[in-house]
Amino acid sequence: MTDDAYAAARASAAKLAELSGQDQHDVAVVLGSGWAPAADALGAPAAEIPLDRIGGFPVPTVAGHVPAARSLLAGSLRVLVYLGRAHLYEGHPVSAVVHGVRTAAAAGCRVILLTNAAGGINESYHVGQPVLLADHLNLTGRSPLAGPEPPAGYGSRFVDLSQVYSARLRALARQADPDLAEGVYAALPGPHYETPAEIRMLRTAGADMVGMSTALEAIAARHLGLEVLGISLITNPAAGISPAALNHAEVVAAGQASAVRVGTLLGQILPGLATTAGG
């Protein structure tokens, strides 16, 4: 990470403002694999902008991730929706993986909703179930705060992660859907799926679900003072639990099948964010 990563985010935020016609945004949403249809449930886009026009974003190469951002109005909130994300396993540096988060912060967002597709380790979970992230295990071996100190005007790289995922936002989510479960998300670098032995290890370590994203974004968001809500969509039972071999196409299909339902849930949560994000 270098000072240039923060400058790049400010430049992307300025371009976003120009192309969207909005001086700032209040809330950011990052959609996981196959979740793009969820954006439609959040509201009609005022603008949809290819990421390469905003600048600084690597183009997603993974099926189920759309290289575009939407600007839309949800009640009184101006929402920035990323229809896809970059991953470490695509060969990107950590700064590229968290560029969307830093751009959102530079664009004025104070709240970010991070979503993902995840394998279920907790055997009470079922395919198509949304689960709130109560915490995470960052097993990527990386941090967006490694390297030189952040430039002047940014917080210390020694960020407290006692409460990465906001208890307040989780309570708002449960008001929208009292049946929402909570769990611990284990983030691995991928792109291969885990072995059954690794899943047994993760269960012993306290993980309820496993995926290949989100944790680095959440760390970068907390460093910048954003309030974070994380939601996993269980798209498959994890290795050793699943009776069949794991398949990315099936993960995307499961995400697409539940995306509108989850988008509706996000749409119900967003109004409650106005006091923090908009004020």
pLDDT at 254: 67
Query: Is 248 among the catalytic positions?
Result: yes
pLDDT on residue 1 = 40
pLDDT confidence bin for 275, thresholds 50/70/90: low
Of the candidates 17, 46, 48, 90, the residue annotated as catalytic is: 90
Section 182-207 average pLDDT? 96
Find the range with the poorest average confidence among 41-45, 79-83, 92-96, 156-160: 41-45
Looking at the DSSP bridge assignments, the partners of residue 135 are 184
| 217 assigned to active site | no
- Beta strands 27-30 and 111-120 are parallel
Read off the pLDDT of residues 36-45 as tens digits, 9 standing for 90 and up. Answer: 778 888 888 8
In this prediction, residue 135 carries a pLDDT of: 98
Instruction: Tell me whether residue 201 is one of the annotated catalytic residues.
Output: no
- Could you give the C-alpha distances from 199 to 38, 121, 188, 203, 208, in angstroms and in order? 29, 7, 11, 6, 10
Q: How confident is the model at residue 122 (pLDDT cuts 50, 70, 90)?
A: very high
Res. 251: pLDDT tops 70: no
Boundaries of every domain in the chain: 3-278
For 3-278, which CATH class? Answer: alpha beta
Given its phi and psi angles, is residue 34 left (phi above 0), alpha (psi -120 to 50 degrees) or beta?
left
Question: Which two tokens mark 146?
Answer: 């490694």
Q: Which of 12, 20, 33, 95 is catalytic?
A: 33
Q: How far is CA 207 from CA 121, 126, 179, 213, 238, in A?
A: 7, 16, 20, 15, 11
Q: How confident is the model at residue 142 (pLDDT cuts 50, 70, 90)?
A: very high
Check residues 182 and 38 and name the one with the higher pLDDT: 182
